[in-house]
Structure 1
């Protein structure tokens, strides 16, 4: 798993983090060469070639900010077959061939350093917990299990944790995502995959030495590797299909109310930041983002003349029609399975924390969390978008004063979170035109 940061804007500590990681990787590689065993050239070249192949066959858009390849399997096998220095070399070489012009230089440096460290750490853990340094001496089922299988599983777990920690450190410094939130997101996204990595890596090692197939085992192992890649591609395509569905709905809204599109995008980004600040899990963050993106989809059922009318020119009866958009929006996406959890966030976005809201008069924690987040995010978006309200260059004090001017409207915890993320990230990008509702 490698970094795919979006429009990086590193904090002051970001470059130092990457530089430190690069230096640590080089130093650890040098120590492994000086004090560890030197791998044979033929298996080193073969496993490096497989590492490069896995990088080129990677699925880069499986989920937000991260992508998958089967490089971790190659690194795990290298830990047992080549030792620490060999595994470090495989990790470094596999990432060093990056040619994508969209990947910035410091991302390349980070990926090379991180993958080298992951390979070396896995090999070190394998040896530390009793893994056989000479696989040719391993014999019998118990020998395979205790001297190869168990150490590889432990190394697999530590590689997974190392990947999550190093990657989360970069994302935290470059994008401001809370560290433990992203650690959890990586583990949830890749934890099950790493179990498969361990099994396939063990099979690779067994075929190479105890079964004595040598380099031919690389051909045999390609079948499950390509099957794993196919599974990742299918999952990634499902995620992209969900995104296309949401984009289609937003586009439909934009044909009727063009200013709603940038508003929805900014509200979604702000809601995602809030959810991360609150420490929500990956599924909850996704639910919040979908709800925020589609929080105005019910405007498709509101007469266009009302949407274009200035707020002060809207009558009480017309305001009631406009305010029903949240209920209509929830009905519009009914039956779309992956949006089912987001429906409550759309329906209840106008509830009040004190229970005096609509449509159902829910109060406090009874209001779905997605709805509480969307309510605050859309309110901030409205404040920043409406002429004469809160200017885009206003500090968070002005926004806090505006949000707190109506006691009982919002969840205080969500208000605190949004003020924190605005200080951390600034305003969501983009500017909109027209009157926001």
Structure 2
């Protein structure tokens, strides 16, 4: 416990105290509580806590919340949490935290369910609300301990909090209500326990989905961190390109998983710069033809880096083709028009826009209206006019945040540039090839 930061210790002790206060009325009630129900549910919960991923624990807690008063429901989670699987130290502190967390979640769910005590399946809305509160509270406390004990940024710890809690509520709420109804019916607890098997399977599927999403996020974070170690400007640029790509994609009607894939395409479009010598990325003076050819290899490097990552399938096309031009004069394959994948055409516009509106080692940021005017001038030859129009509409609706000041070392301006003639938006993203 004492190895934790002070804020994390305070959070753990506060949660334990709150859980104890919530459960105390049940201990004072004595024979007024159905201790047989508490004991049986606690035993099932303890068995669930010994399973990998604890796929059954949440449904059991919800069943307890629907069968018992709040204080008694809070006790069901405690024995199992105190003997459950813990894979990392400090074991005692993790068990204590988990017990408090689960106890508070069961208590809160029972309180919500008790507000509308309707009979049978008429209580389904109350059950869904209680399940959502239970899942949200678990997720909020999970995020809080990550922020205080592991110093994770809050936006990462609580990313996707409401939507991530919705699926467990929709799956476990109705099933736990059915278990509670059977428990109180003619067939008793034995029939109710049979309901918990499909609940366990559904919980395992949900856990699998969460693990897959977590692995995907970890893979993207690792790639972005690798870019940051190579060149800090490139990482900031990629994050802004991801943001601009999403603005365009929304105007095009993209939603859900495709919108997220579009964001990843923007964030990772320059991942291939890991293979480009740093001296070329930061060079102040003109590039030689040979140096330009080296830089122009970065889309192919990036495509190879993410080749084995299945969930980046459509984003991979944008990584490879975001420097193609509609007139066929781009690289690496000289594609024309709609031969260029849609994601690549979106990223090309987002990339050029950010390059023109950011301070770089060889150019100062241009005002947004000037950058948009240049994109419109190059539409049809370099950029897809539909993507340029979508970005213009998005910026009219939402605006574009101020550009963060560059480091002093990034503000060295070159007076001798080998900028190609024609579209200066192309020049903004590199001297014949993006920098």
Q: Does the 8 A contact of 1:126 with 1:154 survive in 2? A: yes
Shift of 1:204: 0.5
Verify: 1:197 aligned to 2:172, yes or no.
yes
Distance 2:100 2:239 in 1: 28
Verify: 1:328 aligned to 2:300, yes or no.
yes
Distance 2:94 2:262 in 1: 29
The correspondence of residues 37-436 of structure 1 with structure 2, limited to 5 A, is 38-59=32-53, 69-104=55-90, 105-127=92-114, 129-131=115-117, 143-146=119-122, 148-177=123-152, 179=154, 182-210=157-185, 212-232=186-206, 234-235=208-209, 238-239=212-213, 263=229, 295-297=270-272, 316-329=288-301, 331-332=303-304, 338-339=311-312, 340-341=314-315, 344=318, 347=322, 352=355, 353=357, 354=366, 355=371, 366=391, 400-402=407-409
Shift of 1:19: 1.5
Distance 1:273 1:241 in 2: 20
Match of 1:412 in 2: none
Shift of 1:200: 0.6
Q: Does the 8 A contact of 2:131 with 2:172 survive in 1? A: yes
Q: Does the 8 A contact of 2:59 with 2:196 survive in 1? A: no
Deviations 1:35-93 (A, max 9, x none): 5974333322221122123323343xxxxxxxx73322111110122322331112222
Shift of 1:107: 3.5
With over 3 angstroms needed to count, the CA separation of the structure-2 counterparts of 1:246 and 1:113, relative to structure 1, is closer
Distance 1:400 1:298 in 2: 20
Aligned mate of 2:19, from 4, 19, 25: 25
Deviations 1:200-241 (A, max 9, x none): 10110111113x222212441133123213423543565588
Instruction: Could you tell me which runs of 5 or more consecutive residues in structure 2 were left unpaired when the two chains were aligned.
Output: 247-254, 323-346, 358-365, 414-434
Q: Does the 8 A contact of 1:299 with 1:325 survive in 2? A: no
Distance 1:93 1:267 in 2: 51
Q: Does the 8 A contact of 1:37 with 1:83 survive in 2? A: no
Deviations 1:312-350 (A, max 9, x none): 699522331232244324654589662124765784568
Match of 2:250 in 1: none
Instruction: Could you tell me which runs of 5 or more consecutive residues in structure 1 were left unpaired when the two chains were aligned.
Output: 1-8, 60-67, 133-142, 251-258, 377-396, 407-436
**TM-score of the superposed pair, with normalisation by structure 2:** 0.59
Distance 2:161 2:86 in 1: 23
Distance 1:17 1:27 in 2: 15
Distance 1:71 1:151 in 2: 20
Q: Does the 8 A contact of 1:92 with 1:116 survive in 2? A: yes
Distance 2:191 2:238 in 1: 45
With over 3 angstroms needed to count, the CA separation of the structure-2 counterparts of 1:274 and 1:177, relative to structure 1, is farther
**TM-score of the superposed pair, with normalisation by structure 1:** 0.59
